[in-house]
Amino acid sequence: MSGNPPASFRTCPGDRYPPGATVVADGVNFSIYSRYATQVELLLFAAVDSPLPFQVIPLEARIHRAFFFWHVLVVELPPGTYYAWRIDGPDTLPQSGFRFDRDKVLVDPWTRGVSSVLWDRARACRPGDNVSTSLRGVIESGDYDWGDDEPLGCIRPERTIIYELHVSGFTRHPDAGVQAPGTFRGVIEKIPYLMELGITHVELMPVMAFDEQDVPAGVAALGLRNYWGYSTHSYFSPHPGYCVSTDAGAHAREFRDMVKALHAAGIGVILDVVFNHTAEGGADGPVINFKGIGNESYYHLDFADRSKYRDYTGCGNTVNCNHPMVAKFILECLEYWVREMHVDGFRFDLASVLSRGEDGEPLYHAPVLWNIEFSNVLSETRVIAEAWDAAGLYQVGDFPGYRWGEWNGRYRDVIRRFVRGDRGLLGEVAQRISGNSDLYQGADRMPTNSINFITCHDGFTLYDLVSYNSKHNEANGEDNRDGNNNSLSWNCGVEGDTEDTEITGLRRQQAKNFMAILLLSQGIPMITAGDEVLHSQQGNNNPWCQDNELGWFDWGLVESNADMLRFTQLMVAFRKRHPCVAHARFLTGELRDGYWFPDITWHGEQLNTPSWGDSDGQVLAVTLGAVEPWEEDLHIMMNMSEQPRRCALPGIAGRDWHRALDTSMASPGDVLMPARQPLLDASSYKVAARSVVVFEAR
């Protein structure tokens, strides 16, 4: 608010819909769901840092309650005003599961903007009033000139190439050279880089407002904070820390500016969303919103003792996603980000939690998942599941729904093993790179249901995957107990940094092998930001709290590892140029009239003789027939053994094979555009040890 606020604003009963703070003709309508509340107060603050409210509005049940909603209209209240709630109710733990706390100030779960300027997590955990250190929502006008911008539904799934990045970490490094490091505006400044890379979508790690103070005591003692953002508290609000302005009313505008700019560059926006748990943690965690509004509705509680939380996430609490009110909240939130913020899709963290019913057991017809599947507003968006949770539920290949994409952990694991040199994997490797028909075809799904990845934010970077056998997470302050203990990695002979040029050369070649196989596989590829320049986290495979150069994108590597960046850019361009590596439907192996080859044919070192039953097999070749007769056919050879192998190429009357890729060669010979591809004047090719080779026929 500007100027001195009046002593009070006049109020009317208001309406129960929509939830949140909504600007209407007469002022602002407030509504909040709390089924068992007995006392509710609305608090209005004059400024972002006001320690006390200038007006407290008590709500009376007979006037301000309709069904399970409490509501009030504050006449002539201007946008930009900050607000929060106090809610009281029965105190009947453990039998009820209630956690009402009259002393705690609650941020509105539906708020469109939130301020954390005064926030103190510790005060929200302890008994007593925390009004002077609470989170506050802001009344956001919703005004924004989108021009002709719309969500990018025009990019077909099979043409999608995803780039996972951390909004802050992408531009925080001193070498980033941006005016607004660590913000949505910083991402805008790096759009030319994203365009040169050639990706079609960015997948942003959590950007909904989260609690940076949510870290264990040992981690906090090192001065570390929650960097990744998997600790959401305000699901309709952009994270304040990614905004230039401290005015929460401007945060939505800054996010929209980023989306609009990315769309203008032809790049879609996918949000990593965390509906499986919240920042409120377990029984000893803070009261922020959901606990004090409807703990018994929003969370899975222990059957025998409802003062305890069932934890399927490893984070202290689990959201009760298929409670009717919670499912409605999730769907309305997603639709808001599409309708009002123009995002193009969502990746759901630990998505198997969303399939659990109110009793905690998995449901194939989980209401919240099918509501998302059938939502008209979400019909053109990408919905991607991390199809497992921390309690052992693993649903890769069987996640409920038909259009859900899945982070394909089975693809990641077998390709990691194959490239590091494990033997006897050829049959499964073939399944994974040809579209995962064993996982999806029988359920009437498609190759694009598979999100293929080698690395993601969680685990080793690509360069660390070829540089470390074991995790090195000591910097996290948890005695190296955190993070995955089985990374399926290989250090190429020495653990960590080395000046041995033979080893560093092999590591580069292995990184190129991974990138090449990823971008030659049917399905949707996802690249992790920094892998294209061989960013290292020094063996830390869980840098969730490392808001420093360890976790930031190192822009100095763009020059020092320009060969790997070039390789990735050209491989992305190669994928875009060849539809035969990005089919919308499963391959059949059948030959069509007018074509040289079937859509897929498997080989070993000799033609048409793949070594499916060879327990020592490490060589696999495949011919991909062109989608249209005038396009190039491709012949791909992968030799992950320690010795070179001579592999045959099929003959083609009237066409010749041209070498497009050989990961054993130094840049710029490793990957070549068509005009520079040498002709192969032979019927076979010597494939170097641990390398991938691709020929184009024309």
- Please identify every residue annotated as catalytic: 349, 386
Closest Cα to residue 268, out of 134, 365, 163? 163
Q: What is the DSSP string of 662-675?
A: ETTSPTTSSB--GG
Indicate the DSSP class of residue 159.
G
Neighbour count for residue 136 (Cβ, 10 Å) = 29
Q: What is the DSSP string of 96-145?
A: S-----TTS-B--TT-S-EE-TT--HHHHHSSS--GGG--EEE-------
In angstroms and rounded to an integer, the radius of gyration of the C-alpha atoms of the chain is 27
Judge contact between 34 and 102, C-beta under 8 A: no
Question: Helix, strand, or coil here: 55?
Answer: strand
**Lookup: tokens for 485:** 């203990």
Q: How far apart are CA 24 and CA 26, in angstroms?
A: 6
Taking every pair of Cα atoms in the chain, the longest distance, rounded to a whole number of angstroms, is 89
Burial class (CB in 10 A: 0-12, 13-18, 19+), 563: middle
Q: How far apart are CA 388 and CA 454, in angstroms?
A: 17
Compute φ and ψ for 215, nearest 5 degrees.
Answer: -140, 150
Containing 646, the helix (H) or strand (E) segment is strand 645-648
| Residue 140 Ramachandran class (φ > 0 left, ψ -120 to 50 alpha, else beta) | beta
Indicate the angle between helix axes 367-374 and 324-339, nearest 10 degrees.
30
Q: How far apart are CA 24 and CA 214, in angstroms?
A: 36
Q: How far apart are CA 103 and CA 87, in angstroms?
A: 9
Question: Distance of CA 328 to CAs 322, 325, 500, Å?
Answer: 9, 5, 57
Judge contact between 519 and 634, C-beta under 8 A: no
* 188 Cβ contact partners less than 8 Å away, ≥ 6 residues apart: 257, 258, 261, 262
Compute φ and ψ for 63, nearest 5 degrees.
Answer: -110, -40
Containing 465, the helix (H) or strand (E) segment is helix 462-465
Q: What is the DSSP string of 426-464?
A: HHHHHHHHTT-HHHHGGGT--GGGEEEES--SSS--HHH
Percent composition of the chain: helix, strand, coil (DSSP 3-state, to 5) = 25, 20, 55
Q: How far apart are CA 390 and CA 413, in angstroms?
A: 18
Neighbour count for residue 501 (Cβ, 10 Å) = 8
Indicate the DSSP class of residue 20.
E
Question: Distance of CA 90 to CAs 36, 58, 102, 277, 287, Å?
Answer: 7, 18, 11, 24, 16
Judge contact between 568 and 517, C-beta under 8 A: no
| Long-range contacts, 321-324 (Cβ 8 Å, 24+) | 321/275, 321/276, 321/353, 321/354, 321/356, 321/366, 321/368, 322/354, 322/356, 322/357, 322/358, 322/363, 322/366, 322/367, 322/368, 323/297, 323/298, 323/358, 324/367
Containing 510, the helix (H) or strand (E) segment is helix 501-520
Tally: H helices and E strands in the chain: 16, 27
